Structure 1
Amino acid sequence: MTFMFSRRAAVFASMMAALVPLSQAQAQATHKIRYEEVVRSVLYVPMYVGIQKGMFKEAGIEMSMKTSQGTDKGMAALLSGSADIVLIGPEASIYVANSESPVKPIVFAGLTATDGFLLMGRKPEPNFDWKQLQGSKIMSFRPGSNPDIFLEAALRKKGLDPKKDVKLVSNIGPAARTGAWLAGQNDYATFLEPEASSLEKQGKAFPLGSVGKEAGMVDYTVFTTTDAYLKKNRAAVQAWTQAVAKAQQYTAAAPAGELADLVAEYFTGVNKAELVSAIERYQQLQLWKKTPMVEKQAMDQLQEMLVQGGVLEAGKKVDYARFVDMGLVQSLAQK
């Protein structure tokens, strides 16, 4: 599997290096796309890099961007028609595929290789063992959401039953989590960057482990549209996919300091040292995909995690082809 992934990454690297500037006709084509990201996070640096380096503009995309504050809200925007493309967890598309919704979401490109949340404690624990979580309260997320599912998977791999051995607190909204932690709620919590580095600098929380590292390399956030939008606007989604692929290659090769300078405007209030630290941490954890390919094996693994988490019946797993279309990604490699 590792060899196959490395080979695909090499093919994509060669392909992207060989890409010539868009033709005049392509450059003049404008695709107006309403985009929503799930949250604002360093986890999505490749997307911000693509915007700042003009890769989406070069692809003929005129983008409006909003932050949903949750995969459920991002999916709601997609299904209601108020967003054209959303960056959310792939689990949402599985849930909708099993529903009676006439609108079907389609995953067409991946951005992150796994969960970017860090397990944080209230004091440094140099010799931390996940089994120390036994009997504790951990601030998590909405049941069935990707952050919750990945944390449960990590706990199980460490020999803990997330339903019995710990108390996962799931009733605190994304925007209220930092405040709740600072108010003294819960023993442990999971945080994305840059919140993790900021809390660490303040001496309010200390990183103990990586959820994604323990859960495994399973696509965590993906670009998703609807089947109808993809059918009607395939050229626009193709342009988007090409811009994402270029941004991923650029991000993979750039040093943390350069990336921090590029994306600084998306993180006002975070100083450069904290931003560089956050980016370096994610680089070390290899959280950013080098290509937009979302593999069937990863989605099969995700669905097994959903079954183990009790949010998907084993008999209701969704065929990969029903909610994932890698045709646009594959077409890039053929150019």
Structure 2
Amino acid sequence: MKKLRITGILLLFLTFTMLAACGPGSDDKKDSDGQKVEKIKLGEVTRSVFYAPEYVALEKGFFKDAGLDVDLQTTWGGDKTMTALLSASVDIALVGSETSIYVHEQKPKDKVINFAQLTRTDGTFLVSKEADPDFTWDKLKGSSFLGQRKGGMPQMVGEFVLKKNDIDPKTDLNLKQNIDFANIPGAFVSGDDQYVQLFEPTASIFEKEGKGHILASFGEASGEVPYTVFMAKESMLKKDAATIQKFTDAIYKAQQWVDANDAKTIAKVIAPYFEDTDVDMLAASINRYKEQGSYALDPLLKKDAWNNLKDIMDAAGELPGKAPYEELVNTDFAKKAMKK
């Protein structure tokens, strides 16, 4: 049987860690109206402009208006984020949907459920060392390509797009997958690889600084997928349904706000989360994502998008089981939020 990705760390926690209920609590804190404020520990897989609506919900006070005090933590990587969720270090995780599928195949007593979608396309771009205004995908053949972690959504989408363009990632190029996510940009700059797969704003920063040139969007080439989704353990969705609903309501409000406002306005709001990036660069990155429809307009994770995710995983040889939509996705909270 094929070895499942991120299984080692997950099994350690599933087997040896006491996953005791450690849900959100009020801590007797009250808002200006005297209502109790519930604390939520939220873990995001990385810090990215790709998650703009999340930061908008925090900065515009949408969570606060819903009676939530959200403590945002960046957990740096799908395996670490899922471990944090399973061990109750965080209550809610923002991470790629594929991680919930990997956990599901371990048959945990407390399943991880996707309940609110944040992004609906891949968020990476193909960046090259040299400018190429006449770029076509077939030019990658025979090149050295610095990809993302094997088994993660960026890499699986990357391979899916390459195969769509008649490129076998195993034989038609020198594909490297041994660099940690956080170190990929630096490895590209210091190394000899001709191409790399990068998120924003790094891709635009590289282009501005002359370190690379954006040639294509993997998001545009791969279609709609539930790329990053808010998820929680099934027990929390049952025990703290009202809290999850408040959280989803705030996210939907932020999604609508992002859709209604221009990139520069959004950039000014989320700037505190990207202190080393100027507002104009943030705006350029946000605009790129808005133009290709990366930000989900609502939190509803649709079955067609889920099936596309499974096709991408299957093409990469990473789909470990049937991954039933009905078992791993809860659309009740999204639907209620959209009715309000």
State the partner residue of 1:16.
Answer: none
- 1:91 counterpart (63, 85, 98): 98
Matched residues in 1 for 2:311 and 2:131: separation?
33
Could you list the runs of 5+ residues in structure 2 that have no partner in the other structure? 1-30
- 2:262 counterpart (234, 242, 255): 255
- 2:197 counterpart (190, 203, 210): 190
Once the two structures are superposed, what CA deviation does each residue of 1:191-245 show, in whole Å capped at 9, x if it has no partner? 1111111111110010000011111111210001000111111111100000000
Asked whether 1:140 is paired with 2:147, we answer yes
State the partner residue of 1:176.
Answer: 183
In the TM superposition, residue 256 of structure 1 has moved relative to its aligned partner by 1.1
Q: Quick check: 1:26–1:60 contact (8 Å CA) kept in 2?
A: no
In the TM superposition, residue 275 of structure 1 has moved relative to its aligned partner by 1.2
Matched residues in 2 for 1:312 and 1:275: separation?
35
Matched residues in 2 for 1:302 and 1:285: separation?
18
Give runs of aligned pairs for residues 200-215 of structure 1, distance below 5 A: 200-215=207-222
Q: How big is the alpha-carbon RMSD for the aligned residues of Structure 1 and Structure 2? A: 1.6
The amino acid across from 1:137 in the alignment is S
The amino acid across from 1:305 in the alignment is I
State the partner residue of 2:163.
Answer: 156
Once the two structures are superposed, what CA deviation does each residue of 1:268-289 show, in whole Å capped at 9, x if it has no partner? 1111221111111111111101
Matched residues in 1 for 2:239 and 2:230: separation?
17
In the TM superposition, residue 101 of structure 1 has moved relative to its aligned partner by 2.7
State the partner residue of 1:17.
Answer: none
Once the two structures are superposed, what CA deviation does each residue of 1:47-81 show, in whole Å capped at 9, x if it has no partner? 11111100011011111111111111111111111
Matched residues in 2 for 1:266 and 1:185: separation?
32
Q: Quick check: 1:27–1:60 contact (8 Å CA) kept in 2?
A: no
Q: Which SS does the other structure have where 2:122 is aligned?
A: coil
Give runs of aligned pairs for residues 48-87 of structure 1, distance below 5 A: 48-87=55-94
Once the two structures are superposed, what CA deviation does each residue of 1:31-58 show, in whole Å capped at 9, x if it has no partner? 2111011111110111111111000110
**More displaced 10-residue stretch of structure 1: 244-253 or 150-159:** 150-159
Q: Which SS does the other structure have where 2:269 is aligned?
A: helix
Asked whether 1:112 is paired with 2:151, we answer no
In the TM superposition, residue 167 of structure 1 has moved relative to its aligned partner by 2.7
Tell me: CA distance 1:27–1:40, structure 2 relative to 1, closer, same or farther (3 Å). Answer: farther
The amino acid across from 2:191 in the alignment is G
In the TM superposition, residue 27 of structure 1 has moved relative to its aligned partner by 7.9
Runs of 4+ with deviation above 3 angstroms = 24-27
Q: Quick check: 2:298–2:338 contact (8 Å CA) kept in 1?
A: no
- 2:330 counterpart (317, 321, 325): 325
- Overall identity of the aligned pairs, in %: 38
Matched residues in 2 for 1:185 and 1:146: separation?
24
State the partner residue of 2:9.
Answer: none
